């Protein structure tokens, strides 16, 4: 079912922090409809790569093409508008807003009411507001937390907060959804449900970039996997082959091969 | 005449204006963590602009209906203050967005002094009297007297404050503002243009400040280039009193401060046997501030100071 049309292409991305080379000539391509896994030991540069893709960090050099357009140097909100949404390793919800409002914020860029319309409550603003509510409910239903709509985000259970992050990201109508360790802290049942949700999202036409420590989840879910170590891509292939790659085993075990 | 009722009424009038100005402080603090000390001067510029427009209109079109005059003056003042706030944020604060907190704070104080001096150059050093546009009518209410201007002040403030609360809590713009105040970075990643939201926040605060300036000018009938200083300080006190960053807190703090000052000024003479007169009313604001901060450092409605990354 994989369509081999490149959606996101990174070419020779470098990122330094002072003397530390966090990313070293990283190139990778995520195709449309793909679930692409990114693994690597702690500090390998996975989250840095996320931040470069989403416009939070500017790479020192390298090219990023998304949907056939260069997105290097764009601000995070422009990258979001272009169609990349993300969730966070440590949950970053708007804690003092309701569950519903969090999703409504996600729809911000895809709606047209400006400040003027909002302040003077024009007819089109009211109409759009209604549409935003209906859509947000759908996203909450999609990830299975509709009953929590009016609770404050900070009062949700851990697993539900992760779901809400996904709903909020989906509300931006991304072409690519980047999930930063979505299964962290989840129990086996929650992880299994998450796996189902990710598959549904892909079936509905959104490509997925997945950073995860849960190797089993990565191996079960991903079409292709890339491995980062010390800021370099040391392997990229289908999961079955990556797990047998000697470089990967060495990076994870950190020594001579058995 | 019932003195207590009278002081309450005066306090509400004063408090409404404090609240309008306090909202500007609290909104900017909520979103940037910056205390915009130039905000009081924006109030002054609003009053001065409105007065200039009113004077011009009175001399050029003496037959113009007073409502139209005040409406045009109000719109002009709001427009001037909003543009001023836009440029202050864009030119003075935005370049310092990632600087240590002290830098924008000192810049704000600098802007405040700059605006005072500009106003002094344009409008002179003397107190300027505000022409009476409407015949003052006085009404009796619970044994106290209230003028039509005071009624107008309370009504306008109430409408604007409720309007702001509705915008912040029930519109797309308000959601974006709240999201930005919780985390600029995450808001940006959700597709919100954070810089734009910050500009709009400054401009809304400045619009309220312009109106507050006009209301004050109407109430006291004089304006002066330094009028924004003490007013700004009081409104800031009100914002802290209510819990800075909290909109409801700013309204509550403003009204409370107005009431405390007014009641304090009304009775201080009797309490001290005439030793201290009502010109000590300014003392109350700051005594209250100190007391509240000792017992409730986050202000009356403030929650724990939100953690910032």
Are A107 and A182 members of one domain?
no
Residue B176 contacts A where some CB pair is shorter than 8 Å: yes
When CB atoms are compared, the residue of A108, A113, A118 closest to B191 is: A108
Distance from CA of A127 to the nearest CA of B (A): 12
Are A2 and A75 members of one domain?
yes
Q: Is residue B149 part of a domain?
A: yes
Residue A190 contacts B where some CB pair is shorter than 8 Å: no
Q: Do B182 and A95 touch (CB under 8 A)?
A: yes
Average pLDDT over residues A2-21: 85
Are A33 and A140 members of one domain?
no
Average pLDDT over residues A182-187: 87
Residue A32 has a pLDDT of: 92
Q: Is residue A90 part of a domain?
A: no
Domain count, chain A: 2
Q: Is residue B64 part of a domain?
A: yes
Q: Is residue B259 part of a domain?
A: no
Q: Is residue A199 part of a domain?
A: yes
Q: Is residue A91 part of a domain?
A: no
Q: Quick one: which of B10, B263, B225 has its CA closest to B125?
A: B225
Question: Which of B181, B190, B248 is the best substitution to test chain A (most A C-beta atoms within 10 A)?
Answer: B190
Q: Label residue B212 by pLDDT band (50, 70, 90).
A: very high
Tokens standing for residue A106: 């996600």
One-character DSSP codes across chain A = -----EEEEEEEEEEEETTEEEEEEEEEEEETT-EEEEE-STTSSHHHHHHHHTTSS--SEEEEEETTEE-TT--HHHHHHHTEEE--SS----TTSBHHHHHHHHTGGGS---HHHHHTT-HHHHHHHHHHHHHHHHHHHHHT-GGGTTSBGGGS-HHHHHHHHHHHHHHT--SEEEEESTTTT--HHHHHHHHHHHHHHHHTT-EEEEE-S-HHHHHHH-SEEEEEETTEEEEEE-HHHHTT-HHHHHHHH-S---
- pLDDT tens-digit map of B270-287: 777 767 776 777 788 888
Residue B279 has a pLDDT of: 72
Are A73 and A147 members of one domain?
no
Residue B308 has a pLDDT of: 37
Tokens standing for residue B285: 């604001």
Are A197 and A128 members of one domain?
no
Q: Label residue A219 by pLDDT band (50, 70, 90).
A: confident
| pTM recorded for the entire structure | 0.87
Residue B2 contacts A where some CB pair is shorter than 8 Å: no
Domain's final residue, options A113, A143, A167 = A167
Q: Label residue B1 by pLDDT band (50, 70, 90).
A: low
Are A214 and A103 members of one domain?
no
Chain A positions touching B200 (Cβ under 8 A) are 115
**A251 compared with A133, residue with greater pLDDT:** A133
Residue B138 has a pLDDT of: 87
Query: Domain range holding B115?
Result: 20-227
Are A1 and A77 members of one domain?
yes
When CB atoms are compared, the residue of A80, A111, A113 closest to B190 is: A80
CATH number, domain of A35, equals 3.40.50.300
Domain's final residue, options A150, A167, A184 = A167
- pLDDT tens-digit map of A51-83: 999 998 999 999 999 998 999 989 888 998 899
**B194 compared with A213, residue with greater pLDDT:** B194
Residue A104 contacts B where some CB pair is shorter than 8 Å: yes
Q: Label residue B174 by pLDDT band (50, 70, 90).
A: very high
Are A193 and A69 members of one domain?
yes
Chain A positions touching B194 (Cβ under 8 A) are 77
Average pLDDT over residues B237-259: 93
Q: Is residue A4 part of a domain?
A: yes
Are A78 and A183 members of one domain?
yes
Are A163 and A211 members of one domain?
no
Average pLDDT score over chain B: 90
Q: Is residue A248 part of a domain?
A: yes
Distance from CA of B43 to the nearest CA of A (A): 21
Q: Is residue B273 part of a domain?
A: no
Are A202 and A127 members of one domain?
no
Q: Do A105 and B179 touch (CB under 8 A)?
A: yes
Chain A positions touching B182 (Cβ under 8 A) are 94-97
Residue A105 has pLDDT above 80, yes or no: yes
- pLDDT tens-digit map of B30-71: 999 999 999 999 999 999 999 999 999 999 988 888 889 999
Query: Domain range holding A154?
Result: 97-167
Q: Is residue B279 part of a domain?
A: no
Q: Is residue B275 part of a domain?
A: no
Apex B26 CA angle, B305 and A114, nearest 5: 110
Q: Is residue A88 part of a domain?
A: no
Question: Which of A105, A126, A128 is the best substitution to test chain B (most B C-beta atoms within 10 A)?
Answer: A105
Residue A257 has pLDDT above 50, yes or no: no
ipTM at complex level: 0.81
Residue B307 has pLDDT above 50, yes or no: no
Domain's final residue, options A167, A192, A227 = A167
Domain count, chain B: 1
Q: Is residue A77 part of a domain?
A: yes
Q: Do A94 and B174 touch (CB under 8 A)?
A: no
Q: Do B191 and A104 touch (CB under 8 A)?
A: no
Q: Is residue B37 part of a domain?
A: yes
Q: Label residue B303 by pLDDT band (50, 70, 90).
A: low
Q: Is residue B157 part of a domain?
A: yes
Residue A209 has pLDDT above 60, yes or no: yes
Residue B305 has pLDDT above 60, yes or no: no
């Amino acid at each position: 079912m994989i369509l081999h049309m490149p959606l996101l292409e990174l070419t020779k991305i470098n990122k330094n922090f002072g003397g530390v080379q966090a990313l070293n000539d990283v190139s990778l391509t995520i195709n449309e409809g793909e679930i692409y896994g990114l693994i690597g030991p702690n500090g390998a540069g996975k989250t840095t790569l996320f931040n470069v893709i989403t416009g939070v960090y500017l790479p020192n050099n390298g090219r990023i093409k998304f949907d056939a357009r260069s997105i290097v140097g764009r601000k995070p909100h422009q990258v979001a508008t272009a169609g990349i949404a993300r969730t966070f390793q440590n949950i970053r919800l708007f804690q003092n807003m309701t569950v519903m409002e969090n999703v409504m914020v996600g729809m911000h860029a895809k709606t047209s009411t400006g400040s003027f319309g909002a302040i003077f409550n024009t007819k089109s603003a009211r109409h759009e507001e209604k549409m935003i509510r209906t859509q947000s409910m759908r996203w909450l239903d999609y990830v299975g937390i509709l009953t929590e709509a009016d609770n404050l985000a900070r009062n949700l259970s851990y697993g539900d907060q992760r779901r809400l992050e996904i709903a909020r990201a989906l509300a931006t109508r991304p072409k690519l959804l980047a999930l930063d360790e979505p299964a962290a802290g989840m129990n086996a049942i929650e992880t299994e449900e998450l796996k189902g949700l990710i598959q549904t999202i892909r079936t509905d036409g959104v490509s997925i970039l997945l950073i995860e420590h849960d190797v089993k989840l990565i191996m079960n879910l991903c079409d292709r996997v890339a491995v980062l170590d010390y800021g370099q891509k040391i392997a990229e292939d289908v999961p079955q082959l990556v797990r047998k790659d000697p470089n990967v085993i060495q990076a994870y075990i950190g020594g001579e091969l058995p | 005449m019932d003195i207590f009722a009278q002081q309450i009424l005066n306090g509400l009038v004063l408090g409404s204006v404090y609240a309008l100005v306090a909202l500007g402080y609290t909104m900017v603090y909520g979103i940037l963590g910056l205390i915009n000390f130039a905000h009081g001067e924006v109030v002054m510029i609003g009053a001065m602009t409105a007065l200039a427009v009113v004077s011009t209109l009175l001399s050029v079109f003496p037959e113009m209906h007073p409502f139209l005059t005040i409406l045009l003056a109000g719109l002009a003042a709001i427009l001037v203050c909003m543009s001023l706030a836009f440029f202050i944020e864009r030119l003075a604060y935005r370049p310092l967005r990632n600087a240590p907190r002290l830098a924008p704070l000192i810049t704000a104080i600098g802007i405040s002094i700059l605006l005072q001096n500009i106003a002094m150059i344009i409008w002179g050093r003397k107190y300027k009297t505000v022409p009476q546009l409407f015949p003052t009518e006085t009404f009796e209410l619970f044994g106290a007297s209230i003028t039509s201007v005071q009624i107008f002040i309370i009504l306008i403030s109430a409408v604007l404050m409720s309007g702001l609360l509705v915008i912040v809590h029930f519109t797309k713009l308000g959601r974006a503002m709240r999201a930005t105040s919780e985390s600029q970075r995450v808001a940006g990643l959700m597709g919100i243009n954070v810089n734009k939201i910050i500009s709009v926040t400054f401009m809304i605060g400045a619009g309220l400040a312009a109106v507050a300036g006009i209301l004050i000018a109407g109430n006291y009938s004089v304006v002066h280039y330094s009028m924004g200083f003490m007013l700004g300080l009081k409104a800031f006190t009100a914002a802290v009193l209510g819990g800075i960053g909290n909109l409801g807190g700013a309204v509550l703090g403003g009204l409370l401060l107005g009431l405390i000052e007014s009641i304090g000024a009304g009775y201080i003479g009797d309490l001290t046997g005439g030793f201290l007169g009502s010109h000590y009313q300014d003392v109350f604001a700051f005594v209250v501030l100190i007391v509240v901060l000792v017992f409730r450092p986050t202000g009356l409605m403030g929650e724990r100071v939100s953690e910032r990354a």
